Amino acid sequence: MSVLKAENIKLVYGAGTSFEKTALDDVSFEIEKGEFVGIIGHTGSGKSTLVQLLNGLLKPTEGRIYLNGKDIWEKPKKIRNVRFKVGMVFQYPEYQLFEETVYKDIAFGPKNMGLEEEEIDKRVREAAVFTGLREDQLEASPFELSGGEKRRAAIAGVIAMDPEVLILDEPTAGLDPLGREALLSQIADFHRVRKNTVLLVSHSMEDIARISDRILVMSKGRKVMLDSTKNVFSHGRELESIGLKVPQITKIMMMLKEKGVNVDTSVLTVEKGFNEILNILSQKTKE
Amino acid sequence: MVREITLGQYMPGKSFLHKIDPRTKTVLLIAYIVFIFLCRNFISLLIMSLFSLLVIFMTKISFMKYLKSLRMILFVIILTGFFNIFYGSGEVLWQWQQLKITSGGLINAAFVIVRISMLMMVSSVLTYTTSPTDLTDGLERLMKPLKIFHVKVHEIAMMMTIALRFIPVLLEETDKIMNAQKARGADMESGNLIKRVKSLIPVLIPLFVSAFRRAGDLATAMECRCYNGDKNRTRMKVLHFSIKDLIALLGCLVVFAAVIVGNMYFPAVI
């Protein structure tokens, strides 16, 4: 059974006023347990709105969202339980830190869940390890940390709730290349070890291409496609028409193909591209 | 939810009222406030009310917007109106022990309600038709004479501009932080008063931190550009007193004169 299922969801902001705007229109999809799904789309494509619907921060104007087969808005008063199961890391999450110590801030979510002290302690420490925070940093004030460390602390705060589905909205925005790399591999590690479902919103094709199983492409509030990473990027021209860029290496492959070189255009990483070109060259020399 | 607050919302337009000088508008608004409280009978009040409606109509902004501005203080209007019914002299219409409703009380209540409503709506005319920058610019020029008493007029105006500019930014920020804390299971809707106030801490602390961060950034940016207040500062848009301002001024004088005449020739009821 799918862990998350969206059925014809539609969201209209400011309905009935002059500012009426349809942010999402007729979006349906299913996400399987344990999947790593990337969500891409141009600015204003509705991807951030979509993820806020999935954990019940916004209520769809029309349509339904199912978590493990149950409509999340069946009992509106119990929506908090949905938020514990679908953890959400917002853009620039470091701005939500507020506690005296990093430890207390990470413990905020688990505490709201009503867990025992011992369990909270275990979860906080585990989350800190996953995000690469040092033991001594747990007792520091979150405002003393560097920008990148603050972000780790904030992400740890959501991971500590051990959500079934973890949603990250542009987690690498504003980080330097090294920080990006480290954070992404930590997220990938987390997914591998815990086997949770992860949704990663990003507009960086390189990031998404590398770690997602499937990709959901959004444009102008509608779902364009939801398919395996390889298949999605083989629709290079289509992606470009909605203002998205394919990874640079894929782009090179596409251009080679247009020039008449018979290469595979679904190559996503530089390494694979390198091998692909080597192959072609060795074939040519044989001829 | 927090976005619904309309505070001094400027609505761009090309009406006569949009075009007159902010200084003229400010001075006339102050005079208007004085005169609406000078009305002593229904004739004067009617003149002022009709004039207010005319001004509102001239802004070419939907009347609904003005009604919405009233909604914010609806409670105040009802409350003051209600209490005024019981104060006043004149013919007793209804009595229950110490409590009595008099004809004078009813008139008082009517006056208070009309006055507050008109006051609010006409004040909205100023904020709806004047951009915040123009407004503070105008105020700065009006307060200039205070410089003799070493009042830092320009700095005050600058602070007002910045404060106005950051209202929407901070509202949006509040929304974001609330969502982020809700996603971590913060419960802001249930519980008793103490619990609710406590649940605001996770929102207020990040909000203050971010406000101070923004203030610091802005101060640094201003310093980097060697901003030194009003010394030798020139303006891109210099305020001019035009023929339109003269028309507005004369129009208001006529109305205010009519109010005085109305007060003099008809018996006072309040």
| Residue A57 touches partner B, C-beta closer than 8 Å | yes
Condensed to tens digits (0 to 9), the pLDDT of residues B237-254 reads 777 888 999 999 999 999
Distance CA B132, CA A74 (A): 45
Stated as kind and residue range, the H or E segment containing B168 is helix B153-183
Higher pLDDT, B17 or B189: B17
pLDDT classification of B8: cutoffs 50, 70, 90? low
pLDDT classification of B54: cutoffs 50, 70, 90? very high
For an interface test with A, the pick among B184, B203, B214, B217 (most A C-beta atoms closer than 10 Å) comes out as B184
Average pLDDT, chain B: 86
Residues of B in contact with A88 (CB under 8 A): 180, 183
pLDDT of residue B212: 93
| Residue B181 touches partner A, C-beta closer than 8 Å | yes
Closest Cβ–Cβ partner in B177, B185, B187 for A96: B177
Tell me the domains of chain A and their CATH numbers.
33-60+72-236 (3.40.50.300), 247-287 (no CATH)
| Residue A87 touches partner B, C-beta closer than 8 Å | yes
Tokens of B198: 């406590």
> Percent of chain B beyond pLDDT 70?
96
pLDDT of residue B177: 92
pLDDT of residue B1: 40
Q: Looking at the complex, report in whole angstroms how far the Cα of residue A82 sits from the nearest Cα belonging to chain B.
A: 9
Instruction: Decide if A215 contacts A247 (C-beta within 8 A).
Output: no
Interface predicted TM-score (ipTM): 0.83
Whether B2 has a pLDDT exceeding 60, the answer reads no
Instruction: Decide if A141 contacts A172 (C-beta within 8 A).
Output: no
Q: Read off the pLDDT of each residue in A114-135 and give the average, rounded to a whole number.
A: 91
| Contact assignment for B184 to A57 by CB distance below 8 Å | no
Distance CA B196, CA B185 (A): 14
Average pLDDT, chain A: 88
Question: A253: how many CB neighbours lie within 10 A of its CB?
Answer: 26
Closest Cβ–Cβ partner in B176, B185, B205 for A98: B205
What one-character DSSP code corresponds to residue A68? T
Tokens of B175: 């929304």
Counting Cα atoms < 13 Å in the Cβ hemisphere of B41 gives 13
Distance CA A15, CA B128 (A): 23
pLDDT of residue A88: 93
Condensed to tens digits (0 to 9), the pLDDT of residues B198-216 reads 888 899 999 999 999 999 9
Q: Read off the pLDDT of each residue in A239-252 and give the average, rounded to a whole number.
A: 83
| Residue A90 touches partner B, C-beta closer than 8 Å | yes
Closest Cβ–Cβ partner in A87, A95, A109 for B206: A95
Distance CA B259, CA B266 (A): 11
Residues of A in contact with B206 (CB under 8 A): 95-98
Instruction: Decide if A82 contacts A56 (C-beta within 8 A).
Output: yes
pLDDT classification of A151: cutoffs 50, 70, 90? very high
Residues of B in contact with A13 (CB under 8 A): none
| Residue B130 touches partner A, C-beta closer than 8 Å | no
Whether B4 has a pLDDT exceeding 50, the answer reads no
Condensed to tens digits (0 to 9), the pLDDT of residues B107-158 reads 889 999 999 999 999 998 998 898 888 888 888 888 888 888 888 888 888 8
pLDDT of residue B206: 93
Whether B3 has a pLDDT exceeding 70, the answer reads no
Condensed to tens digits (0 to 9), the pLDDT of residues A166-209 reads 999 999 888 888 888 889 999 999 999 989 999 999 877 888 88
Q: CA A16: distance to chain centroid?
A: 32
Which of helix, strand or coil describes residue A87?
strand
User: Of the candidates B91, B117, B115, which has an alpha carbon nearest to the alpha carbon of residue B102?
Assistant: B91
Higher pLDDT, B196 or A24: A24
Residues of B in contact with A113 (CB under 8 A): 185
pLDDT of residue A180: 87
pLDDT of residue A118: 93
Instruction: Please state the pTM of the whole predicted model.
Output: 0.73
Residues of B in contact with A166 (CB under 8 A): none
